[in-house]
Structure 1
Amino acid sequence: MIRIEVGPADVAASRFAVSPSFELALLVRTLILSPPGSAIGRRFAAGLARLRGDPVLRTLAYLHGPTAGASFSVPPPAGMAQTIEADLAVIRSVPDAVVAGELDAIRALRRPSPDVAAVLDDPAFTDVLADGMARAWHALLAPDWARVRAVLERDVRFRAERLSEVGWSGALVGMHRDLAWTGEAITVARRAGSTESLGGRGLLLVPSVFLGQGLAIVTEAPWQPTIVYPGRGAGLVFEEAGTPTDPLAPLLGRTRAGLLLALAAPSSTTQLAALTGASVGATGDHLRVLLDAGLVARARLGRSVVYRRTPLGDALAGS
């Protein structure tokens, strides 16, 4: 069991962030390991076709195994506005000695195939890796990144509110079955035993769409102590967001019914537009109709206006 000891200053020092490079690495590894004809393979078939034969794709999957990964290829994110361009710039600047040390540790765990070994041994490895990740990003993830970000932002909004209002017990509820709050520490079940004291550094919390049911704990520099966890509503990314049931669509109209279902988690107009693929203006118009009908309510949270379902909206949506 891992035990993360938390002090009074650690709530204020904790923060949330998104990691484009982490999401890309998880997606690529899933695609490489998925059986032919899998649902995720079909979903990304066009992008994979553009990358066919690219050894960097297999190299990125090799770098992120089930028990150990190359931290230099997934830099610590600075915040919610992290971009893949910022991640790739950091990867290109990692010292050779750091890369060599991590690669030696990974090679000791699993042997690379000949084409992957050729990439790893390239004198310009970090540039080759970053260039390949950029190709993979544009072929696979860039078209859906707005929807991915919308889901991750909704998760962060929910958990940040719970952390500030209730504390760690509120933020951790439903985050992952292996996580628990003891009153003075966060525990992670079914892992090798260790203890990490935050000591005022706070915890970095990173939601993920492609982690599945997994959980990643990072305590090694340059990362601050970090939990990467499955984001709430990750399944919305590759579904038609809020596809309405037959009885609801004729009553409200297909678009408004879809918005009502998507509001299972409080969201801004921009986030809902990203999830549904509609324009921000059209989304706002439909939200005003739902607001006037008493099906949704809105409130200002920081610089954003957030919509959430009312009890009547929940009843109509079948929640």
Structure 2
Amino acid sequence: MLRIHFTTEDLTRIRIARTPDPLWETAFSLHRLQSTRGRWAFAEWHRTARLKLIGTPLGTAVRKVLFQVVPRARYFPDFLTPPEAEDGLDAGCTAILDTPPDRVRREVETLARVVGAPAWAARLTERRSREELVSTLRAYHSAVIAPHHDRVRARIDGERAVLGRSVLDDGLDGLLAGLKPGMHWRPPVLEVDYAEDRDMHLDGRGLRLVPSYFCWHRAVAFADPALEPTLLYPLHRDGAPE
């Protein structure tokens, strides 16, 4: 379980993402391709994505590069989903390229220790290697995420409207109590169903809530507690169809 500890100041600094985060959606969609869990919810997308990837150079790059550094596992490097992506894909990709090499090295070493990483991942400390990775991320996003932007954006807009009504009707308590799935507001702590047991102390920094189309089952936060407090959570709340 993840326990997010709020102060009074934090409650005044809750933000809800205004648009889909392109790099988080990219990461979560890669997870969807690596698992059959929840596939029914993304069946149409999954079919079209496979048609664009199978037997293509991009498909090979996704399998040999992106799956290796964005595995569906307990950990993948935080620098691949920078907060700057809130301002769009270009801003997010620039942030990846500008990540300090020491931070890249630390996070790749964590990936290798926790999940396993290919030998070539160590070269991501070099800007040229990150440029090649970003090029693959862009190509993947263009092929299988961008064509579905309107649908994803509509779901995000709908979630923002629901959360906005919760605030108007019941204040911030109503907003936090209404977060689903797998979250429970027990003031001043938001308890989140999570892959590991940890505490997140906001300490006046507030919390950025990011509803995500391709996120499935559990919410996700940055592994590094020093980064901007951010909680990604899935939009899909219904059970599988009959």
Q: TM-score, normalised by structure 1?
A: 0.63
Amino acid at match of 1:26: F
Quote the offset at 1:189 in angstroms: 4.1
Match for residue 60 of structure 1 among 42, 61, 66: 66
**Residue 213 (structure 2) aligned to one of 196, 209, 212:** 209
2:134 aligned with 1:130: yes
The answer as to 2:80 corresponding to 1:73 is yes
Structure 1 residues without counterparts, runs of 5 or longer: 236-319
Distance in 2 of aligned mates of 1:33 and 1:120: 26
The letter of the residue matching 2:77 is A
SS of the equivalent of 1:180 reads: strand
Alpha-carbon distance in 1 for matches of 2:158, 2:235: 9
CA contact (8 A) 1:29 1:60 kept: no
Contact 1:7 1:199 in 2 (8 A): yes
- For the Cα contact (< 8 Å) 1:209–1:234, is it kept in 2? no
More displaced 10-residue stretch of structure 1: 148-157 or 58-67: 58-67
**Structure 2 SS opposite 1:175:** coil
Higher helix residue share: 2
Give the C-alpha shift of residue 193 in structure 1: 3.7
2:85 pairs with 1:84: no
Q: Does 1:195 align with 2:199?
A: yes
Partner SS, residue 116 of structure 2: coil
Name the CA shift for 1:136/1:234 in 2 (closer, same or farther; >3 Å).
farther
- The sequence identity of aligned pairs, in percent, is 24
In 2, Cα distance between the equivalents of 1:188 and 1:26?
18
Structure 2 unmatched runs, 5+: none
Higher relative contact order (CA 8 A, sep 6+): 2
Are residue 29 (structure 1) and residue 31 (structure 2) matched? yes
Summarize deviations over 1:165-208 as a string: whole Å, max 9, x none.
Answer: 42344223453343111122212246544333322211110011
User: What do residues 55-93 of structure 1 show as CA deviations (whole Å, max 9, x unaligned)?
Assistant: 3554322323321111000011464xx311111111111
Q: SS at 2:96's partner residue?
A: helix
Q: Is the 8 A contact 1:56 1:129 kept in 2?
A: no
Per the alignment, residue 103 of structure 2 pairs with 98
How far the C-alpha of 1:164 sits from its partner, in A, is: 5.0
Q: Cα gap change, 1:53/1:118 in structure 2, threshold over 3 Å: closer, same or farther?
A: farther
Amino acid at match of 1:59: V
Q: Equivalent of 1:46, from 42, 48, 51? A: 51
CA contact (8 A) 2:210 2:231 kept: yes
Deviations 1:86-139 (A, max 9, x none): 111111111111111100111112334xxx543653642211111110110111
1:11·1:163 contact (CA, 8 Å) conserved in 2? no
Greater Rg by CA: 1
Whole-angstrom CA distance in 2 between matches of 1:191 and 1:29: 15
Cα 1:2/1:119, change in 2 over 3 Å: closer
SS of the counterpart of 1:167? helix
Q: Which residue of 1 aligns with 2:14?
A: 14
In 1, the alpha carbon distance for the partners of 2:33 and 2:219 equals: 18
Q: How far apart, in 2, do the equivalents of 1:77 and 1:233 lie?
A: 28
Which AA in structure 2 matches 1:89?
A: T
Task: Give me the TM-score of the superposition, normalised by structure 2.
Answer: 0.81
Distance 1:119 1:3, change over 3 A: closer
Q: 1:118: which partner in 2?
A: 120
Supply the distance in 2 between the matched residues of 1:214 and 1:3 (Cα, whole angstroms): 14
Output the aligned Cα RMSD.
Answer: 2.9
